[in-house]
Homo-oligomer: A and B are copies of this chain.
Amino acid sequence: MGSDRFPDPPAGRARLSRPRVLRAAIDLVDREGLAALTMRSLATDLGVEPMALYRYADGKQALLDGMVEAFYAEVNDLLRADAEVPPPSTDEAGDGGWRAALHRIARAFCQVADAHPAVFPLVATRPLSLPLARRPLPMLQLNEQVLALLDRAGLDDRATLRLYRAVVGWVIGYLLVDKRQVIDNPEEPEPLLRLGLHRLPAEQYPRLRALAALLVEHDPEAELAAGLDILLDRLGG
């Protein structure tokens, strides 16, 4: 995370640093939601004047991009951590393990998204306004890693990219849809009422009402992995 433009100061004495600012921003959003993040509230959290932040991010927009950067850095850290505890068989499935490696990446991504649900919308949408080469380095690093793994499937370049888009789109889309299970009234024990579905006219939305009770009961990690396998099977040759 230490790019040239935002150097980490000598470390120890100095009060602020880019990682510290980004971490504080993510903490604040985890605690109070995206809307509560302002340059002023973040400054207060860090015990500093708002303008002090501008040394570590070029403004609010850049701060948001920095949070996406921190998100991907966390994914990469997680992956490095469990790479040090390799699974029993080094050559996991006889295919060089690229498939299992992709699953590990998806799982790590999923874990970080779960840890910072309010940050995830930023991860899904902010890169839309950034040209590829300007994206956060940790994001590019993960992209490169996924591409390198897909290469081992032995596809040509076009097919590799098609599979790449499918994998990334699937993971982000599935997480986005899954995290939509927002509860209306957390007090209510009945799951159907918790979702506020009694407000839905049953005549107009028969299927939605009938299935809504089951909406909450599923295993996101397993479904995400299953879909990933399907796409790898059929697009991976």
Contacts and interface: CB of A to CB of B under 8 A. Distances in A.
Given A132-B212, A147-B207, A207-B151, A125 B157 contact: no
A212 to B, nearest CB: 7
A128 B179 contact: yes
B134 A184 contact: yes
Q: Tell me the dominant secondary structure on chain A's binding face.
A: helix
- Size class of the contact patch on chain A: 35 or more
A114 to B, nearest CB: 14
Contacts of A235: 227, 230
Contact of A182 (B128, B206, B207): B128
Contacts of A175: 169
A196 B140 CA distance: 13
A3 interface: no
A198 B211 CA distance: 51
Interface stretch (A17-25, A40-48, A79-87, A159-167): A159-167
Given A132-B212, A133-B199, A162-B218, 9 more contacts: A131-B183, A133-B197, A140-B200, A143-B208, A157-B210, A165-B174, A170-B170, A233-B234, A234-B234
The 8 residue pairs across chains A and B that have the minimum distance between CB atoms: A173-B173, A131-B184, A133-B196, A147-B207, A169-B173, A169-B174, A121-B125, A169-B177
